[in-house]
Amino acid sequence: MDRELALELVRVTEAAAVSSAQWMGRGKKNEADDAATSAMRGMFDSISMEGTVVIGEGEKDQAPMLYIGEELGNGNGPAVDIAVDPLEGTNIVAKGHNNAMAVIAAADRGALLHAPDMYMEKIAVGKKARGKISLDDPIEKTIDIVAEANNKRIHDLTVIVQERPRHEELVERIRAKGARVKLFGDGDVGASIATCLPHTGVDLFVGRGGAPEGVISAAAIKCLDGDMQARLVPKNDEEAQRCMGMGLEDPEQLLTLDDLVQSDDAIFAATGVTEGELLNGVKFLGGELTETDSIVMRAKTRTVRFIKANHQLDHKPNFVY
């Protein structure tokens, strides 16, 4: 991979974000997702790469575009795995809430875990706690470890957890330990990345969420020199067989960051759709002027770029009143 590809992928997330942002607050999550997906797929045609979707909108017979196995790019350039979430937070956009993003991860061909659409247990931390965490540790021990690594008192530590009934016991244990809990609704890619960015104030991400989002998060965390562990949670024999089809002898084996992204190089790009802690949302400034806020990073160089762009877009609304 090269630096040009990193910057080109930002153009793709920008297109998806602008298209889906037109649906913000209109109560139509499917339409917002379709707009992001169509814009992202169209922009990929101009990218110099031989890309293959390994995490996308579904299997070939389930999604018209950005399906698993679809070839992307113009055929010139590096051969890469592509993981996409054209709109991370469809409900967020429909309701006008914060922290929706368009995201892409890329790595050398064969480097990204081909995670099926199932649940995954996850834990993520920033650079200071890298190499010190274990998904097998009880949460109370993990809090002690992360607090010491980050030079914080336990009652100053912030743990981010998705607000779901399945996490109620976990949240109570965190609170009983004395740490602070930050709950979020949707969008666990942004939540896990927050552990690696000091300005967010988030120290630890834990919980069960989507496996595809876990792999995308892992690419970003590798770029930021953080750490992550995961474990797939198949709910039946069919899902367990899918895990073994990925090459996992034990469907529930512990997956390290290097298992999730099996390369020293990876690229992560994201553009905010609605306002968030990581990125600002798309702003329609009047006339044809539109502003986007993006982040792009590369693991090989540890370069992180925040890109604010103004676009002169002669677009017609893709929604119907």
User: Which residues belong to the annotated binding site?
Assistant: 33, 57, 85, 88-90, 119, 164-166, 186-188, 210, 213
Q: Residue ranges for the binding site for Mn(2+)?
A: 33, 57, 85, 88, 213
Strand partners of residue 15: none
**Half-sphere exposure at residue 200, Cβ-oriented, CA atoms within 13 angstroms:** 23
Cβ proximity of 102 and 17 under 8 Å: yes
DSSP states of 236-284: SHHHHHHHHHTT-SSTT--EEHHHHB-SS-EEEEEEESS--SSSPPPEE
User: What are the C-alpha distances in Å from 158 to residues 131, 137, 155, 195, 204?
Assistant: 19, 18, 8, 9, 7
**Half-sphere exposure at residue 45, Cβ-oriented, CA atoms within 13 angstroms:** 5
Strand partners of residue 101: 88, 272
Residue 34 and residue 19: Cα distance in Å, rounded? 9
Strand partners of residue 52: 71, 81
Task: Report phi then psi at 217, rounded to 5.
Answer: -60, -40
Q: Residue ranges for the binding site for substrate?
A: 88-90, 119, 164-166, 186-188, 210
Report residue 175 CA to chain centroid gap.
26
